[in-house]
Amino acid sequence: MKVMVYWGCVVPTIQYAYEMSVREVMPRLGVELVELRNASCCGTPVQSVNTFAALYLAARNLAVAEKTGLNDLLTVCNGCHLSFSEALHFLGKDERLRERINALLKEEDLHYSGSVKLWHTIDFLHDMVGEETIRSAVRKPLNDLKLASHYGCHILRPSTLRTVDDPENPRKLDELIRWLGATNLSYPEKLDCCGAMLLLSHPDAAFTFSGLKMKAVQDWGADALVVTCPSCQNMFDTRQKSAAATTGVKLNLPVLYYTQLLGLAMGIPQEKLGINLNRSPIDDFLQKALVH
């Protein structure tokens, strides 16, 4: 199974562990990752300033993907997935807009037609790889672990676009967790935002969002919080101490990417999954996870 992969900006610059874990687990699941050469920013950072420029950047990457001749494109970032979903949506409805963008793309010998199938880590593993393959790859089941899932906003909202899962009651990441032998925690704050989009303009509000959600996850008795978005990981893992200081709450919550969790269950060494790069307190969690 060949799939193009788009890493975005955040993963290669500050969230290396996500890329490391994806590169380790996918080949073991029969997935060959094909690098998307000549890719650029997805457009998210300029969306509030220039919508057309954001759509152009997203369409450009999709056109680069189309030129490879492959059909499936994996995005590992929620924000990138939203940018591409918006391009597919709006360019699919507006022929004049599509013509304007293709006129610009022609300068690079590119053409956008909207033919690429877009995937995110969650629905790719759940829908494309599937339960049987994942369960059969597990060598060290994560029994006795209670894990809370965090989907993030941009793969579920707005519901008028293509979403990775049911925007009101997502279940795919929960099921992926259970396929590893762990118990998935159902909790009321499941769809609450991490606050990442407020970090530059209103950092106190951003850390309040993340801090209160982590407190809730702790209070419900989760052994760890599981994410699949680099911006969410940045808020919950890398900046957990800032969230604790802002909210005045004692936080001691392990936070991992699902692909890191999957790698542990597959028996892949921790260092290959980038777990040493996690900043949340994960030592006790690892001891409990690896005792099986």
The string of pLDDT tens digits covering residues 156-186 is 999 999 899 999 999 999 999 999 999 999 9
CATH node for 2-120: 1.20.1050.140
How does DSSP classify residue 116?
Answer: P
Residue 245 has pLDDT above 70, yes or no: yes
User: Domain locations in the chain?
Assistant: 2-120, 139-289
For residue 156, the model assigns a pLDDT of 97
Encode 207-223: b = buried (16+ Cβ within 10 Å), e = exposed.
bbbbbbbbbbbbeeebb
17-58: pLDDT as tens digits: 999 999 999 999 999 999 999 999 999 999 989 999 999 999
Check residue 292 and give its pLDDT.
57
pLDDT score, position 162: 84
Tell me, letter by letter, the H, E, C secondary structure of 201-265: CCHHHHHHHHHHHHHHHHHCCCCEEEECCHHHHHHHHHCHHHHHHHHCCCCCCCEEEHHHHHHHH
- Per DSSP bridges, beta strands 146-149 and 224-227 are parallel
The per-residue pLDDT for range 249-283, each reduced to its tens digit, is 999 999 999 999 999 999 999 999 999 999 999 99
How confident is residue 287, by pLDDT bands cut at 50, 70 and 90? very high
CATH among 3.30.70.100, 3.40.50.1110, 3.40.50.11810, 3.40.50.10070 for 139-289: 3.40.50.11810
Is there a contact between 142 and 91 (Cβ–Cβ < 8 Å)? no
Phi/psi for 224 (5° steps) reads -165, 160
Give 290's pLDDT tier (boundaries 50, 70, 90). Answer: confident
Look at residue 291 in the predicted model and tell me its pLDDT.
73
Which of 61, 56, 54, 19 minimizes the C-alpha distance to 38?
61
pLDDT in tens, 179-224: 999 999 999 999 999 999 999 999 999 999 999 999 999 999 999 9
User: What single string gives the DSSP state of each residue in 28-83?
Assistant: HTT-EEEE-TT----SGGGTTT-HHHHHHHHHHHHHHHHHTT--EEEE--HHHHHH
pLDDT value for 116:
97
Nearest alpha carbon to residue 66 among 109, 33, 8: 109
Average model confidence (pLDDT) across the chain: 97
Give the predicted TM-score (pTM) of the model. Answer: 0.97
| Separation between Cα atoms, residue 204 and residue 202, nearest integer Å | 6
Distance between CA atoms of 174 and 183, rounded to whole angstroms?
9
| Mean pLDDT, residues 222-239 taken together | 98
